[in-house]
A and B are shown apart, each in its own frame.
Chain A
Amino acid sequence: MYKLAKFNIDDTIVGISSPTGGSIAIVRISGSDAIPILSKIFSHKGEYESHRIYYGWIFENAQKIDEVLVSVMLAPRTFTRQDVVEINCHGGTVAVQKILALVLVNGARLAEAGEFTKRAFLAGRIDLSQAEAVMDIIGAKSELSHKSALSQLSGNLSILMDNCANDLLNALARIEMAIDYPDHEEAEIVASDVRDVLCSILKQVDKLLATASGGKLIREGIKTAIIGQPNVGKSSLLNAMLGQERAIVTHIAGTTRDVLRETIQLGDIFLIIADTAGIRETDDIVEKEGVVRSAKEAEEADLVLLVLDGSQPLDEDFVVQQSFKNLIVVINKSDLPQQALVDGIDAPMVRISAQNGDGIDELTAKIKEVFAINNLQYSQEIVTNVRHINLLNAAKEYLNAAVSAINTGMFIDLVAIDIQDAYAAIGEITGVVVDEELIDRIFSEFCLGK
């Protein structure tokens, strides 16, 4: 009954463009049939003016489905440069799903992931890096991540990369001058000037790349495992963190394994806590298998929180066994008399009371310290996109090759080959350099988008 979701830019598509779980949801339609479809299901009769909001009811046959506000934007001054309709309806699955189904039945097809953005790109409305930023905003979980994506959307990364690309072009021009007019340009001076330029670009690339790992954690959240012996307070820690800042909690069934995950917001960072059910289980019932399972989670995690009971003597043998990267020792029950001797533990440590919420802020600060996220500021450019990171790494490799070739006294003309490659890599970030696979890649990336 629905059209198959095969790519065709002229289809009218529909999607839910708001996050699930909110009190308001937005059903967005784009394409030439957007208005005719709306007319069939919306109480407003008559013409629609562009960029106006209409109040009314969505009907299925004669039955009222929901009371809504509908934004109508007519082509071409829209995100996709097609007619766009946004139905702002009440959140909650029933109404939204009903409206979505109505739109589908009336001739639209379900949008693929990122398809609105793809259309905007194809319509020349946004450039490649802006398109990617939109995808990042959609996928953004934390505030810092959102701001980074917004900054990229406004073109800051493009500007930075354009400057680097320009510097490289100028360096190439210098080299070519030296080739065409050997009388005018001393090859050695050119080589040393070019090396200075390359080194300065390398610094900028390095600076950007340094944000990449933090950037990824910011964008995707920090995979965290909470481990510890039974009854040390793992589940109370979980609850204490959940209580913090009235965190958004989502329940997503893991894709690869059937474990439950929760995303917890701590200040401006996100923790993705795997196997929360397991944590509660092992605290409730003394079960060895549960401990083994959480240890396995810990090995795959970005961050391990080892919870100890400060009011009990330390089980040193157990602590010694816990050798994970990015381990933070959380000494719980700071509200009780302390018995554990923890001076010998060589790891970042925080004392908390999961019971009354003391020390959670310190834990947040400690996590940021461990990941050097403190150094990432909103204003700074952060690379979070995998394609960008790969291209920057490639550029870095080419730049290093060029610099070392200059150092070994290689002909400047050969060095130019590395510089051309570096230019191409950086140019591809902003789309200044056309890659033949550009369109295919964008299509596939967007289709697979989160």
Chain B
Amino acid sequence: MKKTLENTPNLQIVQAEVVDISVGAAIGRPHVEGVITASGTFYPCNAVIIATGTYLNARCIWGEVSVNSGPSGLLASTKLRNSLEKLGIAMYRFKTGTPARIHASGVDFSQMVEQKGDENIVPFSFENTTEVIVREQISCYLTHTNEDTHDIIRANIHRSPMYSGEIDGTGTRYCPSIEDKVVRFSEKTSHQVFIEPEGENTGELYISGMSTSLPEDVQIAMYRSVKGLENTHIMRFGYAIEYDCIDATQLDATLEFKAISGLYSAGQFNGSSGYEEAAAQGLIAGINAAAKLLDKPPLIIDRSEAYIGVMIDDLVTKSTKEPYRMMTSRAEYRLLLRQDNADLRLTPRSRGYLIDDERYQRLLHKQSLIDGEVKRVRKLTIAPSNATNELLRKHSSTEIEYGFKMADLIKRPELSYEILEKLDENRPNLPKDVAEQVNISLKYEGYIAKQMFQVEQFKKLEKRLLSSDIDYNDVGNLRTEARQKLAAIRPANIGQASRISGVSPADISNLLVYLEKRKHS
């Protein structure tokens, strides 16, 4: 990655601690003018993306030890907060944690269940095909905590900074520390633990599922009580980390601060948790910061287009009071937001920002292959021949007595486009990913159509824009809480307004009425 960055044209890399963001307000909305580093150097610029991760005023805590430091002993950023507060940015304090790293040499893998990597490697980028990735897969291993582990934790819980009151940052409920799990789910006698290699060229292992901030002596006893880890050697101890972040409702959906033009932020600084969450925001903030400088329209992905859209809408609409995790259930239109169709969904959206024409043409080609094949299959009728019924029998599917549409056979749960290949003499030879899309779009077409309809309904509210100059005091009959929330968050449209907690359907009706009246006056 470093190599890629260093070789990216027009990209100059400077590493230094930014301590101040310079904002000018000569005309109109305050706007970014540059940044000042710890050494006092001023870098003029028109756009800044803050991505401080867990480093802003970071403090690592384990047991009775507390160190003002970023993760893994790296320096924390300590001065930027003052600058941000001076700009009127409201700050929160969140916490997260990490487990210990251990050395592979002391681990008895024979006591654990091997977890192999995926047999079919699905590349992250649609630009790569499965065949391109040929590399040895390194296994992970599954083991479990037990009553001994839990006894050790319970006996020492008073020494945990979370319980002694040493930490006041808010942690996420979704990936709790092992001591949290033991206290909160006291009825469970065992929790899953995944042993994951840190990399190809190191013996360091990550103990997934057992993040902790207990004192070092307790950590040793606790980890060693787990099956297979009896002789483990800890290389780095687990710790909890507290850091500064913001209430992301101060941002709009481009991740730009509503109050300061040109100032963007992404990642844990915005109150999220997790690598993918951070990366996705970095992508959107980066695209929009660049788009602004290039005078291009902003790129806003909505909830029906991608999980990115769901996450960013949640972050900038709902005040998150704990680190935000991208859970599957947060998305309303999950059936459409599949990983297998991410390229079909999003490549067209990144046209004009990230991808070149060639890549776009490739996508169009793929889409036309899918559409063409779906169309062909729809017309196809399968005769009730012996061969047909033999195949159906083989897959425990009801035999047919008269001509049957291929598309309808594909819909049967026990059958698929692939299985029925033998009955389809004229089937073209298609790439695997195209065949997969053909199968999915035929198999689930009923549900896909239903969900598309839901999306249409959703878009209607998204299209009712709320201009930024609305004075919510003028909107009749809003409840006070709704009025305050709407004025603070300034939603971009009725849809976003309806998702603000504290804004009721009745408030939305009144907003709609207000818009109608405004239109007529």
Contact = CB atoms under 8 A, between A and B. Distances in A.
Interface of A: 8-9, 122-124, 127-128, 176-177, 179-180, 183, 408-410, 413-414, 417-418, 420-421, 424, 431-434, 436-439
Nearest to B507: A124
Contacts of A434: 461, 498, 505, 508-509
Contact of A124 (B510, B516, B520): B510
Contacts of B413: 408-410
B430 interface: no
A431 B450 contact: no
B520 to A, nearest CB: 8
Contacts of B464: 436
18 contacts: A123-B477, A124-B506, A127-B506, A177-B329, A183-B192, A408-B413, A409-B413, A410-B413, A413-B335, A417-B450, A418-B450, A421-B454, A431-B506, A432-B505, A434-B509, A436-B457, A436-B512, A437-B460
A430 to B, nearest CB: 9
A437 B346 CA distance: 30
Q: Which of A123, A437, A438, A439 has the most chain B CB atoms inside 10 A of its CB? A: A439
B517 interface: yes
Contact of A414 (B444, B461, B516): B444
Given A408-B413, A436-B457, A436-B460, A414 B512 contact: no
A291 B450 CA distance: 52
B366 interface: no
Interface of B: 192, 327-329, 332, 334-335, 413, 444, 447, 450-451, 454, 457, 460-461, 464, 476-477, 494, 498, 505-506, 508-510, 512-513, 516-517, 520
Contacts of A123: 476-477
Contacts of B517: 9
Contacts of A439: 509, 512-513, 516
B37 to A, nearest CB: 42
A433 B454 CA distance: 13
Nearest to B451: A417
Given A413-B335, A414-B447, A417-B447, A431 B509 contact: yes
B461 A413 contact: no
Q: Lowest 4 A-B CB distances belong to which pairs?
A: A176-B329, A124-B477, A436-B460, A434-B508
Contacts, number: 66
A387 B494 CA distance: 24
B458 to A, nearest CB: 9
A6 to B, nearest CB: 9
A390 B513 CA distance: 25
Nearest to B325: A180
A421 B460 contact: no
A122 B460 CA distance: 21
A418 B444 CA distance: 13
A357 to B, nearest CB: 53
Contact of B332 (A409, A420, A431): A420
Given A180-B328, A414-B335, A122 B513 contact: yes
Contacts of A180: 327-329
A408 B509 CA distance: 40
B489 to A, nearest CB: 17
Given A413-B335, A439-B509, A421 B477 contact: no
Contacts of A431: 505-506, 509
Nearest to B174: A180
A122 B514 CA distance: 10
B454 A420 contact: yes
Contacts of A437: 460
Contacts of A414: 335, 444, 447
Contacts of B192: 183
Contacts of B520: 8
Nearest to A9: B517
A409 B413 CA distance: 8
Contacts of A128: 509
Contacts of A127: 506
A437 B508 CA distance: 12
Given A418-B450, A421-B454, A436-B457, A413 B334 contact: yes
Given A128-B509, A418-B450, A439-B513, 11 more contacts: A123-B476, A179-B334, A413-B335, A417-B335, A417-B451, A431-B506, A432-B505, A434-B498, A436-B464, A438-B509, A439-B516
B104 to A, nearest CB: 26
Contacts of B477: 122-124
Contacts of B328: 176, 179-180
Contacts of B506: 124, 127, 431
B510 A417 contact: no
B450 A421 contact: yes
A166 B447 CA distance: 23
B400 to A, nearest CB: 18
B505 A433 contact: yes
Question: Looking at B329, B334, B444, which has the most chain A CB atoms within 10 Å of its CB?
Answer: B329
Contacts of A8: 520
A176 B327 CA distance: 9
A128 B477 CA distance: 15
A91 to B, nearest CB: 36
Contacts of B494: 436
Contacts of A418: 450
B454 A417 contact: yes
Contacts of A409: 413
A66 B99 CA distance: 88
Contact of A179 (B329, B498, B516): B329
Q: Identify which of A176, A409, A424 gathers the most chain B CB atoms within 10 Å of its CB.
A: A176
Contacts of B334: 179, 413
Contacts of B461: 434, 436
Contacts of A417: 335, 447, 450-451, 454
A122 B510 CA distance: 7
Nearest to B457: A436
Contacts of A122: 477, 510, 513
A128 B505 CA distance: 11
Contacts of B512: 436, 438-439
B371 to A, nearest CB: 23
Contacts of B476: 123-124
Nearest to A10: B517
A408 B447 CA distance: 14
Contacts of A438: 509, 512
B370 to A, nearest CB: 21
Contacts of A410: 413
A414 B512 CA distance: 32
A24 B329 CA distance: 60
Interface centre among A122, A123, A177 (most CB of B within 10 A): A122
A196 B385 CA distance: 41
B172 to A, nearest CB: 13
Nearest to B414: A409
Contacts of A177: 329
A413 B444 CA distance: 12
Nearest to B497: A434
Nearest to A433: B505
A181 to B, nearest CB: 9
Nearest to A443: B516
A409 B444 CA distance: 14
Contacts of B447: 414, 417
Contacts of A433: 505
Nearest to B185: A184
A9 B476 CA distance: 12
Tell me which of A413, A431, A436 has the highest count of chain B C-beta atoms within 10 A of its own C-beta. A436
Contacts of B444: 414
Nearest to B515: A439
A439 B460 CA distance: 14
B340 to A, nearest CB: 15
A424 B498 CA distance: 14
A176 B476 CA distance: 37
From A124, A179, A410, residue with most partner B Cβ within 10 Å: A124
A402 to B, nearest CB: 11
Nearest to A436: B460
